[in-house]
Amino acid sequence: MHTFIEKLKVERFARIYSEEDSLLVGKGGYISPDPTLWEDVLLSISLQKPVLLKGPAGSGKTKLAESVSAYFRQPMHSINCSVDLDAESLLGFKTIVQKDGETVIEFVEGPVVKAMKEGHLLYIDEINMAKAETLPILHSVLDYRRMLTNPFTGEVIQAHPHFNVLSAINEGYIGTAPMNEALKNRFISYSIPYLAGEQLRGLWEQAFPDAPHALKELMYNLAEDLKLQVQHGLLSEEAASIRSLLDATELAQYIEPIRAIRYAIAEKLDDVGERELVMELAKTWVK
Ligand SMILES: Nc1ncnc2c1ncn2[C@@H]1O[C@H](COP(=O)(O)OP(=O)(O)O)[C@@H](O)[C@H]1O
Ligand SMILES: [Mg+2]
């Protein structure tokens, strides 16, 4: 690890958080698909550059963000984008409270304001699912200015030096718009691939240390097969989702693997032909 990153880690580790904030520190466990990706993401964070993780569902984007939070032992706030996301869900809202018998208006800080002030991490999931009008509010937060004028209070907020943003996007996924250029421009972007080969094996060992070896091999082989079919264009990308494969492995500790694969992988696919292909592939590995 680069000494520059190590130095900032020590600095961040020295901070003391409230019990509530400590609960927001991620668990870690991300396995880097190549020798440099993990460290390169940490470098962006160390340089206060917003990070954009691009990859298919279940490729470990959230796991990676959680692992950054764990690495720096830094609380992380998450935002799930949808068309309903508005300025209030990002920044916070005004509310009426009773104080010493008087009615006063208070501002309840949302995840962006909180993370900026406290120097926490902010994880914005599926950033391209948000309405185009909503996110420009973040432009000044995401570039070198690192500041925000809160439209609800007029407060000018300069971000804490440890504050940073990670975003995730599933490019090309149905229902998502392409990401706005001005927004995309503010991020350092990383493609997040599905794990393969020995690392994929390692993930199964990490997730199910006590599961039967044969079951882990079965799921590992199926994972490689599914990925190949995705590359050939015969299956949609979700078919090779590691999340689904891990779910199948978990179920298969209690029921026949073939049923587990059906429920956790095949049934999620919209296309009948794809569902059948998954089951055909599965049958070649189940003894
Ligand atoms: N590279 C990886 N390292 C560790 N775990 C991974 C990795 N890729 C996928 N996973 C596991 O697969 C599941 C889905 O990962 P997740 O981060 O939720 O995917 P995404 O956010 O990209 O949809 C989780 O259980 C996660 O631990
Ligand atoms: Mg995710």
What percentage of the chain's residues is helix, strand, coil (to nearest 5)?
Answer: 45, 15, 40
- Span 116-136, average pLDDT: 94
Same domain, yes or no: 201 and 185: no
Same domain, yes or no: 201 and 125: no
Q: Which of 164, 191, 218 is the last residue of a domain?
A: 191
**C-alpha 78 – ligand 1 centre gap (Å):** 16
Which residues approach ligand 1 with their CB closer than 6 A? Answer: 29-31, 55, 57-63, 195, 203, 242-243, 246
Domain with 123 in it: 3-191
* Euclidean distance between CA atoms 200 and 1, whole angstroms: 23
| DSSP-derived pairing of the beta strands 164-169 and 92-99 | unpaired
pTM of the full predicted structure?
0.91
Same domain, yes or no: 278 and 184: no
Look at the chain and report how many structural domains it folds into.
2
Q: Is the pLDDT of residue 175 over 60?
A: no
**C-alpha 210 – ligand 1 centre gap (Å):** 20
- Span 154-167, average pLDDT: 98
Give the pLDDT band (50/70/90) at residue 40. Answer: very high
Report the candidate in 38, 32, 36, 44 with the shortest Cα–Cα distance to residue 8: 44
pLDDT, greater one: 178 or 161: 161
**C-alpha 67 – ligand 1 centre gap (Å):** 11
Same domain, yes or no: 48 and 21: yes
The mean of the pLDDT values for the chain is 93
3-state secondary structure of 248: helix
Angle at 64 between CA 63 and CA 68, to 5 degrees: 115
